[in-house]
Structure 1
Amino acid sequence: MVFLSNEGILRISFNESIKYDKPNRIYPFENSPIYESIITDCAKLTKGDDVKDIYEIMISLSEEIKHDSEPGDTIAILPKNNEKEIDEILEILGYKDYVNDDCYFYVLNEKKRKLFAHLPLKSTLRNVFLENVDVRSPFKKTFLKKLSDYSTSNDKKLLEDLSSPKSENYLNFVEENNSLLCFLKKFSSCKPPIDVILENLHPLQPRIYSIASSPLIKNQLKLIFSVIINENSHLKGVCSSYLEKTALINGSIKFYFRKPSFRIQLQTNPVIMIGPGTGLAPFLSFLETLNLKNIENSDCWLFYGCRYNNRDFLYEAKLKKYLNDGVLKKLSVAFSRESKKGKIYVTHLIGNESDLIFNKFVEQNGSIYVCGDAKNMFKDVQEALLGCLVGNGMGLEEAERFLEGKIKEMKYIEDKWV
């Protein structure tokens, strides 16, 4: 078979079987077998311009899928890359006629076999690129240096410059060229062998989603997700686009339950929940559980943020019903694009409720749960809470120590997603 480099430690064969036991791949925080289930229902929750496309999906759970969970638990979905993108990559590399042929993967260095645990013993090139490797992760300099060996003229010179230790353009390059397809189109003379590509691509990692339905509902679970679009490449996120496509045809997905890290306790102390956008998901599970248990007059307070009242206020009717029924005691909603005075976020609402938050969090020993985007929100929320503590008589150092104590006591818990 042509196109193989016979370099490195990874080998691909199209005409022989493998004779060793392959190490099992260990997934992050794995707490169950990998299940495959059908998406039975899909609904778009947002409408109009200037908002993300957010979907609700229902995943069927058969009797064989038995798992004890609590509000706040998560699952990890095993995504697939975009089929059109993968087909284009393999065609550019010159493998169009071989993508569906059986091939075998083996590693020459016994000690490094675990590095390739994400690759199957036997598959096809198309399936491996669809299911096992990340074609959107940034290239390391060592990979760019290796790729320069298979490039010519200006492409070779530019790749050698980018991979040099003192390169001034590397960071800008990886930000703007954050996919294998984008790279191959930019460096058209680069034709590396397939084993070089696979040896340097990262594993395709699972994506984490909070369960948005109560664990008391045993035959299905609910997820909500937004379709992410990269600002530089304008590509949809790998998993969100995969879920969108699969949900619209009621296809099946693979997933596993994760070890709990953000469980919301059913307790009598005040509970403050902070979750803009799809960060609402674990709190929906918590509130639905309270509702199914007929727990009324609970001291639960939800801070929720979105852009517009009539475009992306998720589960507005349900939240207001929980409020009227006493499942939810207080609901504070920030619409960031509707104020003439500037953008309003949940952190502004927290500042406006300083005295009441101090009463519930400090004087009544309440708990705070925060779920959302890891990029900016968590630092801003902590600063807003410190402002509440300082505004009610604590010194800054005392307030910081108090918050650190709450974190250690699991009375202040964050669930961050990227």
Structure 2
Amino acid sequence: MATSTTGPRATDVVFMYGSQTGNAESIALNLLDQAQQRGYQAQALVMDDYEKVAFHPQSVYVFVVSTTGDGDPPDNATKFWRYLRRIAKKQSENWSFMRYTLLGLGDTNYDNFCNGGKRLDEKLRELQAKPFYPRALADDATGLEETVEPWCAGLWAPLAEVCQTKSGGKVLPGTSKGSTAETVVPVPTPTTTTITTTTSSSSSDVPRITQAQYLTAPDALKTTLALTFQPLPAAGKSADFWPGDAFGVICPNPTPLVGALLVRLGLADTADTPLTIAPVAETTPIPTYLSHLGPVSPRTIFTDLLDLVAVPKKAFIRMLADYTADAEEKKQLLYLCSKQGATLFSTFRDLRPTLLDILTTFPSCQPPLERLLDTLPPHQPRYYSVANAPPPPPPSLSTSEGDEASHSTFDLRFVFNVVQYDQPAPLVVKREGLCTPWLERLSLGRPFPTPTAPLHLFLKPNHHGFQLTRDPTRPIVMIGPGTGVAPFMGFLEQLARSTPASASRETWLFYGCRDPRKDYLFRDQLEGYERDGVLSRLVVAYSRYSPSSPPTPATEGAEHPRYVQHHLRRHAADIYRLIVHDNAIIYVCGDALNMARDVNETLAEILVQAEKNEDDPHFGITLMDAKKLLVQWMQEHRYLRDLVSQ
């Protein structure tokens, strides 16, 4: 077949996206809009809708894919990824006809940076597909725009060489290489409109909080809560979960913030008038999260649909400039999102201003609601690990009956730190997180069990492997300092119910906190699990322990190990035996930026430095090979991580 730069040109371009939080989708729809303006026959669809397109030489493909979890593909790309693996394994198809390019989105706070994009590129090349334009990998830790902007700008020339266009791929009239628009991130044209006023009302079942408990002392650095709630029977129909799964909490934006925005945007008088959201044109799709909505009011839009505290993107700032009346303010906004203003934008981004902060700073800016729907990201659920095991079926019932009965009512428990922080200078304003302070306020001052609380949630099974193994004989090593211990409480509760066959398995937990007097979470339960033999070893590190602290069995004077990786080194011989010779599964939960990287480095060092016989499978292994082995174990689900960027 023809290469990516020779032979007949394709007749259309297909933008395929895999998006977890909406960034990849927004970029793909932006590119679709620009492609249509440039005369291309184009469409955009989520990767899991791959069956809607027939992969053939008449199309060119542009993939925009993010990465979630520990290097996993987004939820709406998993079906497509399984499809690619299946046909690659069977060697049933040859995609040498395909001409494609790829933009990956990731975060270097995580070890497996842009792994979703990298793996997709590798799989397409394995199928002999040919890139017509070099891939790019954008880093959200420093700002996606730094990579996305030049990559998008550079796409159109090579695309015109491989795909037909009615206008030759030229820029629309009114723009030129020297114009301001060419120095900023392209802004999508309006794709939504609020048109019809209607009346509607709806209600849904919500769970109720049944218990709230502070797990830390009042003088601890962080405030940690454990909440238990019971979904109502309607929600209980989907109660099929297993230790390691998570659930999403959908919390509203703060009422004062919503109210202030409605006033600022002149929407206070019509705040509760239902509106219908529809695309401007049939060929221009609206974001997925808006596509299935019924009538909604402006108050609902700002309360439940839009992320009002998201880190601002350049495309959003560029849109605001279009609706700013004051010339000086407009100039400042345009400079802020230009290439020349990159340093200032980075500083601005680090301040993490809310939408209200920005509109207050630029008082003549008056964006319409339609454009906010176009450019603001969707309001995202907050995910938490389930910290308990599912209820066992009553022994008097059959399996099917027991499953149904156990799912009619059940508890879900989770643990979280109440997020509070200071906004950087020059603002130095005290801020708080969105969901965790709301959850704390929701549970304070109410007798338990509480009346029905405005708490909306959904279970999220962990499809990427971070679940308690169902093999009753396989050893497990759990590493989870701080609230990273939460999923392991569910593991241990489930193991405590295990059959005698699992009693022979080794179970280790490496836990860490700052001070045993202040923030040792679940201390009584963990030490009880060790006494009862559910845990073979409980190893605890205290990062802020001092000799003046009361002695405990796990402390060994002022020179005790401070972090979990220090204890891993101290127990290196056992760890090597468990993970190499006994085929143990390693679970790591918690901070991606520091803890997970330190643990990964320590495990690699243990593989290298452990005493070995010449017949040992890893005799003479180098540090680089050890790290490659850990990556292999991740793919084999022997080394599983559930990480969050703090």
User: Could you tell me the TM-score, scaled by structure 1's length?
Assistant: 0.88
**Alignment partner, residue 26 of structure 2:** none
Q: Return the alpha-carbon distance in structure 2 between the equivalents of residues 8 and 118 of structure 1.
A: 14
**Alignment partner, residue 334 of structure 1:** 541
**Alignment partner, residue 390 of structure 1:** 608
User: 1:343 Cα deviation (Å)?
Assistant: 8.6
Q: Does 1:140 align with 2:310?
A: no
Q: Which stretch of structure 1 is more off in the superposition, 318-327 or 48-57? A: 48-57
Q: Name the Cα RMSD after superposition.
A: 2.4
Q: Does 1:178 align with 2:353?
A: yes
Tell me which of the two structures has the higher relative contact order, counting C-alpha pairs closer than 8 angstroms and 6 or more residues apart: 1
| Of 11, 33, 36, the match for 2:193 | 11
**Alignment partner, residue 403 of structure 1:** 630
Structure 1 residues 158 and 341, CA, compared in 2 at 3 Å: closer, same or farther?
A: farther
Q: Return the alpha-carbon distance in structure 2 between the equivalents of residues 403 and 75 of structure 1.
A: 28
Q: Does 1:59 align with 2:255?
A: no
**Alignment partner, residue 435 of structure 2:** 239
| Of 231, 244, 258, the match for 2:460 | 258
Q: Return the alpha-carbon distance in structure 1 between the equivalents of residues 479 and 636 of structure 2.
A: 18
| Of 321, 336, 339, the match for 2:528 | 321
Structure 1 residues 297 and 204, CA, compared in 2 at 3 Å: closer, same or farther?
A: same
**Alignment partner, residue 225 of structure 1:** 416
**Alignment partner, residue 243 of structure 2:** 71
| Of 233, 257, 260, the match for 1:88 | 260
| Of 206, 220, 226, the match for 2:381 | 206
| Of 278, 299, 320, the match for 2:483 | 278
User: 1:246 Cα deviation (Å)?
Assistant: 2.5
**Alignment partner, residue 331 of structure 2:** 157
Query: Partner of 2:365: helix, strand, or coil?
Result: coil
Task: Write the deviation string for residues 328-371 of structure 1: whole angstroms up to 9, x where unpaired.
Answer: 11111111122466992111211221111111111222111011
Q: Return the alpha-carbon distance in structure 1 between the equivalents of residues 599 and 244 of structure 2.
A: 19
| Of 497, 503, 517, the match for 1:310 | 517
**Alignment partner, residue 105 of structure 2:** none
Task: Write the deviation string for residues 218-268 of structure 1: whole angstroms up to 9, x where unpaired.
Answer: 421111111122442532222222322333354132222223231111432
Q: Return the alpha-carbon distance in structure 2 between the equivalents of residues 13 and 131 of structure 1.
A: 20
The answer (yes or no) to whether the contact 2:226–2:414 under 8 Å persists in 1 is yes
Q: Return the alpha-carbon distance in structure 2 between the equivalents of residues 165 and 189 of structure 1.
A: 24
The amino acid of 1:89's aligned partner reads: L
User: 1:294 Cα deviation (Å)?
Assistant: 6.0
User: 1:115 Cα deviation (Å)?
Assistant: 0.9
| Of 289, 297, 302, the match for 1:129 | 302
**Alignment partner, residue 4 of structure 1:** none
Query: Partner of 2:311: helix, strand, or coil?
Result: coil
Query: Partner of 2:207: helix, strand, or coil?
Result: strand
**Alignment partner, residue 3 of structure 1:** none
User: 1:63 Cα deviation (Å)?
Assistant: 4.0
Task: Write the deviation string for residues 6-25 of structure 1: whole angstroms up to 9, x where unpaired.
Answer: x822211363689xxxxxxx
The answer (yes or no) to whether the contact 1:58–1:223 under 8 Å persists in 2 is yes
Query: Partner of 1:169: helix, strand, or coil?
Result: helix
The amino acid of 1:254's aligned partner reads: H
User: 1:293 Cα deviation (Å)?
Assistant: 3.2
The amino acid of 1:278's aligned partner reads: T
Task: Write the deviation string for residues 46-84 of structure 1: whole angstroms up to 9, x where unpaired.
Answer: 123342211111111344413322211111222211111
The amino acid of 2:514's aligned partner reads: R
The answer (yes or no) to whether the contact 1:71–1:282 under 8 Å persists in 2 is yes
User: 1:381 Cα deviation (Å)?
Assistant: 0.9
The amino acid of 1:244's aligned partner reads: E
Quick one: percent identity of the two aligned structures?
31
The answer (yes or no) to whether the contact 2:191–2:286 under 8 Å persists in 1 is no
The answer (yes or no) to whether the contact 1:35–1:256 under 8 Å persists in 2 is no
The answer (yes or no) to whether the contact 1:298–1:326 under 8 Å persists in 2 is no
Q: Does 1:108 align with 2:280?
A: yes
The answer (yes or no) to whether the contact 1:390–1:396 under 8 Å persists in 2 is yes
The amino acid of 1:115's aligned partner reads: P
Q: Which stretch of structure 1 is more off in the superposition, 367-376 or 343-352? A: 343-352
Structure 1 residues 111 and 245, CA, compared in 2 at 3 Å: closer, same or farther?
A: farther
User: 1:153 Cα deviation (Å)?
Assistant: 4.1
Q: Return the alpha-carbon distance in structure 2 between the equivalents of residues 237 and 334 of structure 1.
A: 28
The answer (yes or no) to whether the contact 2:220–2:519 under 8 Å persists in 1 is no
The amino acid of 1:206's aligned partner reads: P
User: 1:319 Cα deviation (Å)?
Assistant: 0.4
The answer (yes or no) to whether the contact 2:306–2:373 under 8 Å persists in 1 is yes
User: 1:122 Cα deviation (Å)?
Assistant: 0.9
Query: Partner of 1:138: helix, strand, or coil?
Result: coil
The answer (yes or no) to whether the contact 2:541–2:561 under 8 Å persists in 1 is no
Q: Return the alpha-carbon distance in structure 2 between the equivalents of residues 214 and 145 of structure 1.
A: 48
The answer (yes or no) to whether the contact 2:586–2:639 under 8 Å persists in 1 is yes
Query: Partner of 1:317: helix, strand, or coil?
Result: helix
Task: Write the deviation string for residues 155-185 of structure 1: whole angstroms up to 9, x where unpaired.
Answer: 2221111011232211111121431122122
Q: Which has the larger radius of gyration?
A: 2
The amino acid of 1:129's aligned partner reads: F
The answer (yes or no) to whether the contact 1:213–1:284 under 8 Å persists in 2 is yes
The amino acid of 1:357's aligned partner reads: I
- Can you give the 5+ residue segments of structure 1 that lack an aligned partner in the other structure? 1-6, 19-33
The amino acid of 1:242's aligned partner reads: W
Task: Write the deviation string for residues 72-127 of structure 1: whole angstroms up to 9, x where unpaired.
Answer: 11112222111111111222222222212222222213344341533733121111
Q: Return the alpha-carbon distance in structure 2 between the equivalents of residues 74 and 358 of structure 1.
A: 30
Q: Return the alpha-carbon distance in structure 1 between the equivalents of residues 368 and 231 of structure 2.
A: 42
The answer (yes or no) to whether the contact 2:561–2:567 under 8 Å persists in 1 is no
**Alignment partner, residue 152 of structure 2:** none
Structure 1 residues 343 and 49, CA, compared in 2 at 3 Å: closer, same or farther?
A: farther
The answer (yes or no) to whether the contact 2:241–2:461 under 8 Å persists in 1 is no
- Can you give the 5+ residue segments of structure 2 that lack an aligned partner in the other structure? 1-188, 393-405, 424-428, 547-557, 612-620
Q: Which stretch of structure 1 is more off in the superposition, 87-96 or 305-314? A: 87-96
The amino acid of 2:314's aligned partner reads: K
User: Could you tell me the TM-score, scaled by structure 2's length?
Assistant: 0.58
The amino acid of 1:247's aligned partner reads: S
Task: Write the deviation string for residues 16-51 of structure 1: whole angstroms up to 9, x where unpaired.
Answer: 689xxxxxxxxxxxxxxx973112221111123342
The answer (yes or no) to whether the contact 1:79–1:239 under 8 Å persists in 2 is yes
Task: Write the deviation string for residues 379-399 of structure 1: whole angstroms up to 9, x where unpaired.
Answer: 111001111111115422342
| Of 584, 591, 594, the match for 1:373 | 591
| Of 556, 559, 567, the match for 1:349 | 567
Q: Return the alpha-carbon distance in structure 2 between the equivalents of residues 405 and 16 of structure 1.
A: 56
Task: Write the deviation string for residues 252-298 of structure 1: whole angstroms up to 9, x where unpaired.
Answer: 32222223231111432321100111111110001011113365464
Q: Return the alpha-carbon distance in structure 2 between the equivalents of residues 166 and 92 of structure 1.
A: 30
